[in-house]
Amino acid sequence: DAMVIQNPRYQVTQFGKPVTLSCSQTLNHNVMYWYQQKSSQAPKLLFHYYDKDFNNEADTPDNFQSRRPNTSFCFLDIRSPGLGDAAMYLCATSRVGTNNEKLFFGSGTQLSVL
């Protein structure tokens, strides 16, 4: 089945230790998104790619970086995780970004920072 896959499901890292979260999709969608979601809060968009074009949200900290080496894969790098970065990280895709296409989400990566 076509889907959005995130690995790992749970990630534990140490304060200040770089961590990378991965996302892959078999939907062949143009747009890939990274969201951060803390408990009982709205998902917060960090950045998105329209094909190879990278779009950073104005309030996304520099500590967060992203790479999209090809259509299928997208990575979220947190260079120096702080305690406040503990959250669920959601990867999502949509077919196009300029129309009202629904988002397809991966299962998320729950990040803990010790």
Partner 1 sequence: GQNIDQPTEMTATEGAIVQINCTYQTSGFNGLFWYQQHAGEAPTFLSYNVLDGLEEKGRFSSFLSRSKGYSYLLLKELQMKDSASYLCAVSDSNYQLIWGAGTKLIIKP
Give the interface with partner 1 as residue ranges (CB under 8 A). Answer: 40-45, 88, 90, 92, 97-100, 102-108, 110
Specify the residue, 26 or 41, whose C-beta has the smaller distance to partner 1: 41
State the amino acid at position 56 in one-letter form: N
**CB of 104: closest distance to partner 1 in angstroms?**
8
Smallest CA-to-CA distance from 24 within 87, 95, 106 is with 106
Specify the residue, 79 or 86, whose C-beta has the smaller distance to partner 1: 86
- End-to-end, the C-alpha distance of the chain in Å comes to 36
Specify the residue, 96 or 114, whose C-beta has the smaller distance to partner 1: 96
Q: How many angstroms separate the CA atoms of 102 and 96, rounded?
A: 9
